[in-house]
Amino acid sequence: MDSMTLFGLLLSLGLVGGAIAVGGDFAAFVDLPAIMIVIGGTMTVTLTSFPLNEVLRAVVTIGSTLVSEVPEFPQLSRRLLALSQKARASQLLALQEDARKESQPFLKQALSLAVDGAPVEAIEKLLYNDTTTMVERHERALAVLRRSAEVAPSMGLIGTLIGLVQMLGALTDPASIGPAMAVAILTTFYGAVLAYLILTPLATRLERNGADDLLTRKLITTAIVSIVRQENPRQLELHLNALLPPTQRIAVFK
């Protein structure tokens, strides 16, 4: 699990909550009408912008982002090179047990195709289509998150206007001015917290997670194609390093 994502979210909310608790009455920052306007309004506008099934898929994708591990690209590259060396020393069928025990779904699928003797063109096409589907799924989830992040401050502004109208309409009743002012101010506060402390960071993390997943699939596809073509593992190392960031490149063959 990528604990830093969850830790960052909780720490951000904790700092805000701590500042409120230290500075005064925490209960004064809880207002049900303001919560309904911001959270409820953000949800309804998002559901208006996207089909329900797409929003639900986005929630699942976001949830997987919170529990996904940060990939270790050098470690993956060394494993792919080890598989290449194993296949070159004997034959593709030697990878059958590796394919059966593999826990990474995309690598398991790629190894199974290679062991089953699928043509390299068919393997490339299938893995490419699978990767394209993954990218589209991440882009749709990212669009939902970004839309929600855009809407939340706007709902806060709408709540502020509602509170101001209520306050101006109750100037003759001093007891009503306080609750109306609370709605006006707290909706802006809730909108900012929801957008900039939760939704925007999640969107950034989801975008980064998609980029990491894409690089992982590129490394695996490159390695499997090289293995099926029975290329020299030294050549595969060059191909993998060309995909890896400079700080994460490997040097197995010296």
Identify the CA nearest to 40 among candidates 159, 120, 218.
159
Least confident of 20-29, 55-64, 125-134: 20-29
Total count of domains within the chain:
1
Domain assignment present for 9: no
User: Is the pLDDT at 167 greater than 60, yes or no?
Assistant: yes
Domain assignment present for 48: yes
Amino acid identity of residue 79, one-letter, is R
Domain assignment present for 16: no
Predicted local distance difference test score (pLDDT) of residue 2 = 61
Domain assignment present for 90: yes
Domain assignment present for 168: yes
| Residue that has been written with the tokens 């089953």 in this structure | 116
Q: pTM here?
A: 0.85
Is residue 89 within 8 Å of residue 230, measured between CB atoms?
no
Domain assignment present for 6: no
Predicted local distance difference test score (pLDDT) of residue 194 = 93
Predicted local distance difference test score (pLDDT) of residue 82 = 92
Contacts of 37 (CB under 8 A, 6+ apart): 155, 156, 158, 159, 162, 183, 187
Alpha helices of the chain — where are they, by DSSP H? 3-23, 32-35, 41-49, 52-67, 73-89, 96-101, 105-115, 120-169, 174-193, 200-228, 233-243
Q: For the residues 30-45, what does the mean pLDDT come to? A: 89
Identify the CA nearest to 158 among candidates 130, 181, 188, 128.
188
Domain assignment present for 43: yes
User: Is the pLDDT at 169 greater than 90, yes or no?
Assistant: no
Predicted local distance difference test score (pLDDT) of residue 168 = 78
**pLDDT tens profile 77-93:** 999 999 999 988 878 88
Predicted local distance difference test score (pLDDT) of residue 235 = 92
Tokens representing 128 are: 């490419």
Q: Which range marks the domain in which residue 219 is found? A: 28-248
**pLDDT tens profile 200-240:** 999 998 999 999 999 999 999 999 999 999 889 999 999 99
Confidence of residue 181 (pLDDT cuts 50, 70, 90): confident
**pLDDT tens profile 103-136:** 889 999 999 999 988 899 999 999 999 999 999 9
Q: For the residues 178-198, what does the mean pLDDT come to? A: 86
Domain assignment present for 145: yes
